[in-house]
Chain A
Amino acid sequence: MLDRLDRGRLRLAGLGLVLATGLVLVAGAVAGPRAAACGDVVLNENSWVGSTANVYVLKNVLETKLKCKVKVLNITEGQPAFQAMADGKIDVVLEDWQNLPGTPYEKAKSVVSLGTNGITGVIGWYIPAYLVKQYPAMKTWRGIKGKESVFKSPESGSQGMFLGGDPSYVQKDRALIKGLGLDLKHVVAGAEPAQVARWTQLYKQKKPVLFYWYDPQYLNAQYQVVQVQLPKRTASCKDDEKKGGDAKQYACAYPSYRLDKLVSKEFLASGSPALKVIRAFRWTSRDQNFVANLISGKKQSKDKAAAAWVNANGKTVNGWVK
């Protein structure tokens, strides 16, 4: 149905198309070279800022000193991340709060601990420093007993409010409250950013608040908070309230946590030069908070914040790389 002229035009267009496609393919072949002396390393970044600080500092070191190709994934912590390591999708996790022990992944040795990253994790009950000035006795749990109504909130009625932690963190506060016989109501605040919203809002108004919190955490540099002393730990102390049993057994402080570096079985066997650096990687909660504060407080980009710390701490970094 087409007349000759149009047919010719179409053919011309078709020819042009073929030529253009060829041109594109040639251009594609001249793509840039890929440098990968140390190979690929996949790090997993978790949802808390401290983990971001670990990951981006190590990323900087591996990229600049060893010329590795580092990829950062954001798989949710705990079991999903472990399964990803077992499948060889993640090589390294830099901060595990003792979630690995007891899982099938530990038993199958598909995820292996390389020991501490140098930081000790602390979990506990915290109150603002201004409150301690007002009620010095509240530094320990005994000082709170009888004074629970100070922590009254809209949802706790006549009782005091205890603000619970992120669902993904280890908790035994309900059992602790019961075991210590405190007149507190455990209120779940939700995920960490939601809990932070609750207590910082009260802090800014200089109101009393008692909450589940931990260290290292960069907010501890912005807000003056004090840990409440709980009864000393004993041999029969229990920590996982899901296991049930008598509440009295839980009435003791949280243990301190060694924060472990984990690598996958596959990565461990690969003999990557990065492995040496990861074994040696070790820093302090002050270092971590410094980087975390640059990212979260000062709103710097993650790479930039990590570079700033690496440049200022050549000695430590050289210790990892040598």
Chain B
Amino acid sequence: MSGVAAEPATIAAPTLSHRPWWRGKPVQVALVVAGMWLAYRALRLEYPWPSELAWNSLQFKLDEFQVWLIEQRSAEDKSIVFALFDGFRVFVDNLVIWLEDALFWLTWPGATALGTLVVLRFGGRRAAAITLTAFATFALTGLWEASMQTLALMLAAVSLSLLVGIPLGIAVGRSRTVARILTPVLDAAQIVPAFAYLMPVVILFSVGPAAAVVATMVYAIPPSVRITALGLRGVPLNTVEAAVSLGSTTRQTLTKVQLPLARRMLLLGVNQTILFALSMVVIAGLIGGGGLGAVVNSGLSSTPALALLAGLVIVVMAIALDRSTEAIAERTDPARHHLDADGRRRARLASLGVVATVAVVVAAARLLGVSRVYPETAGVQERAVTAQEWLLARIQSVLDYIQDPTSWVFSITEPIGIFILQQLLLPLQQFLVEAPWFTTLAGLTLVALVVSGIRPAVTTFVMLGAIGVTGVWALAMDTLSQVLVATLIAVVIGIGLGIAASESATVSKGLRPVNDVLQTLPQLVYIIPFIYLMPVSIVPGIVAGVLYAFPVVVRLVERGLDDVAPQSVEAAGAFGATRRQVLAKVKIPLAGDAIMLGVNQGIIMVLAVVVIGGLVGSGGLGYEVAQGLVRGYFGQGVIASFAILALGITLDRVTQGTRKARKEGLG
């Protein structure tokens, strides 16, 4: 958001505050909240948002719009716009189907050989071993066919996302105007729940691979844009100036200086795009993405163990894609590897060897009549040659234990859940929902004013007002209470672990697979078993939000701290600063931008799973959005989604505002 657009942090010496403690911000905020609390105690439930101030027909207008869109779509003489959409649809459908057919045509030994050897050639042994393990997992879980379908879909979605995202990121990184225009669009793309735009996507692109790819791209493009832009802006100004003064053209500066120097950030962008895309597999499955997403969706209510297994396969695929692209990028880094003629020749021979081996494997497999998918015999007997049955039985026994209310685990988790609900969440929810609307509106605006200044306060007022006018005040306050709690927990965990990871290589290494799992394992497959352990509403939804959001905070904080220029750290060390002082006085202030991007992404990620919360008992806006899709209440879904977006913008501007305010206070 605005974090991307801001200039690199300027460091100012910390100045002593001259304000007496009783005029400090915490006290002022506490006073405002106390005022709101008194109003709540006195006038509870007496002033819900007045219906005279609500625009009730908006929902029906939106419904009419959707009907109009459907009619236009099926009209005999389609407009040029639909023809364009059709063209894109045919292109993407064919691309995915072609990739899928190619993977099947190779046969399973061929596909495995191709994947593993290509990664071996360009990415090295370790990455190749991970790739081989992934292919073995697809085969042994008996989910080969679904995995190949998802792999084809993701290859298409990720490459198209990068194709759009990186150029946009370069544009955002180089021009402040572009940044200002695109930032809200990126916010919306990440916060507005996919459930709200699935139906329009289906109307425009029908169901199938194209619709699935489009829905995935909407969500996966923003991180690649943001991180590319951040990387470009992180290139030291004097290096760019040096290049320009030596006569580089703009294009030369970009391709020879800025992009190579931003390489690390660009790679993080690719990595996040892959993970974001894979986190959409299940939602894409709702509109014809097929593959593992469809297995998860159909398994959730009938065979939860299978849904969980398919979810884990998605994680394995994400890790393999991520590690192999990373290894390939590292090994092919021109800055590191200057090949002489001999080396180049050997490399070329190795490439030929890879191609020849794959060709031989494929030819042999096809001539021997090896089937296109693993296992060989399709149909009723198919599970015999995989470990699927064994794995499902193991997972099922874990699920059975979790679902048993007489287990000792349950006797601990249930009271904890009830305590958190009754002592923390319900009071906060009631406070925000039941207090008079005008004191809440005024109070939250005042808090924004105190914390970050006049502009964020105006934003807060306008956004909350819009929520009220669209008629979802109570639902939005309900969701706000949950989002506040989840974000706070996610940011605290994220910053803490991010600092730990940047200080210790072991922590960093250990956290990485944890992050990958949490970002790509479909939430529903683990949150629904969790409900059996903590059968109270709201808590599971908050857990889903925290678990989904904190990995991104960790990653951005860690990367930001690692990227602090080593000479600054050395200089501080030379002055005799302790490790802790270096961290607190040098690294964290210098990494301010990346840390704030982390906080900001944390908020966005929490909001992105509000709908998942709605599906596991959080109610509020998320439930409305989910209901809107299937029951045909398009207007309801859109309004609730925009309320989620409004909450997101408010939280973002207020948190970004604190940084600006702090800077001004310091400077």
Contacts and interface: CB of A to CB of B under 8 A. Distances in A.
Interface string B370-404: 00000000011011000000001000100000011
Contacts of B353: 13
B528 A194 contact: yes
A40 to B, nearest CB: 14
Contacts of A155: 421, 426, 536-538
Interface stretch (A82-90, A119-127, A223-231): A82-90
B285 interface: yes
Contact of A80 (B202, B290, B305): B202
A191 B614 CA distance: 8
Interface string B249-267: 0000000000000000000
A205 B411 CA distance: 12
Interface in B327-357: 341, 345, 348-349, 352-353, 355-356
Contacts of A14: 352
Contacts of B383: 301
A76 B349 contact: no
B287 A2 contact: no
Interface string A150-168: 0001110000000000011
B524 interface: yes
B478 to A, nearest CB: 10
Contacts of A78: 629-632
Contact of A168 (B362, B367, B627): B627
Contacts of A249: none
Interface string B448-469: 0000000000000000000000
A56 to B, nearest CB: 11
Contacts of B524: 191, 193
Given A73-B288, A188-B617, A200-B403, A28 B105 contact: yes
A52 B356 contact: no
Contacts of A292: 302
Given A17-B356, A103-B632, A301-B383, A191 B616 contact: yes
A89 B74 contact: no
A34 interface: no
B366 A75 contact: no
B366 A191 contact: no
B460 to A, nearest CB: 28
Contact of A189 (B287, B360, B421, B617): B617
A153 B538 CA distance: 13
B623 A77 contact: no
Interface string A10-28: 1001101100110110011
Given A47-B298, A75-B288, A194 B360 contact: no
A31 B365 CA distance: 12
A191 B529 CA distance: 13
A51 B140 CA distance: 28
Contacts of A200: 403
Interface in A61-108: 73-80, 83-84, 86-87, 89-90, 99, 103-105, 108
B518 interface: no
B379 A303 contact: yes
Contacts of B367: 23, 27, 30
Contacts of B355: 17, 20
Interface residues of A, number: 73
B485 to A, nearest CB: 15
Contact of A154 (B290, B392, B421): B421
User: Of A45, A155, A168, A196, which is in contact with the most chain B CB atoms at under 10 Å from its CB?
Assistant: A155
B433 interface: no
A198 interface: yes
Contacts of B349: 9-10, 13
Contacts of A242: 633, 636
A135 interface: no
Contacts of B360: 20
A220 B463 CA distance: 46
Interface stretch (B10-18, B203-211, B572-580): B203-211
Contacts of A154: 417-418, 421-422, 536
Interface string B58-91: 0000000001001100100000000000000000
Contact of A194 (B67, B287, B616): B616
A67 to B, nearest CB: 14
A170 B630 CA distance: 11
Contacts of B71: 104, 108
Nearest to B382: A301
Given A10-B352, A48-B301, A242-B633, A80 B617 contact: no
B632 A193 contact: no
Interface in A288-311: 292, 295-296, 299, 301, 303-304, 307
A246 to B, nearest CB: 16
Given A154-B422, A191-B626, A296-B303, A198 B617 contact: yes
Contacts of A17: 352, 355-356, 359
B380 A13 contact: no
B532 interface: yes
Contacts of A13: 349, 352-353, 356
A45 B421 contact: no
Contacts of B297: 47, 74, 76
A16 B302 CA distance: 51
Contacts of A295: 302-303
A215 interface: no
A49 B287 contact: no
A202 interface: yes
Contacts of A190: 537, 614-618, 623
B32 interface: no
A110 interface: yes
Contact of A87 (B207, B305, B362, B631): B207
A61 to B, nearest CB: 15
B240 to A, nearest CB: 36
Interface string A167-184: 110100000000000000
B637 to A, nearest CB: 10
A148 interface: no
Given A74-B297, A80-B287, A299 B396 contact: yes
B8 interface: no
Contact of B403 (A2, A194, A201): A201
A75 B615 contact: no
B7 to A, nearest CB: 44
User: Of A28, A168, A188, which is in contact with the most chain B CB atoms at under 10 Å from its CB?
Assistant: A188
Contacts of A197: 403, 528-529, 531-532, 535
- Which 3 residue pairs spanning A and B have beta carbons closest together? A20-B359, A27-B366, A168-B630
Given A80-B629, A242-B633, 19 more contacts: A13-B353, A23-B363, A24-B366, A74-B297, A80-B202, A90-B207, A153-B536, A155-B421, A168-B626, A170-B631, A188-B614, A188-B619, A190-B615, A191-B524, A194-B615, A197-B529, A197-B532, A198-B535, A201-B531
15 contacts: A20-B356, A45-B298, A49-B301, A74-B297, A75-B207, A76-B287, A76-B297, A80-B287, A83-B199, A155-B421, A191-B616, A196-B301, A202-B535, A205-B405, A301-B380
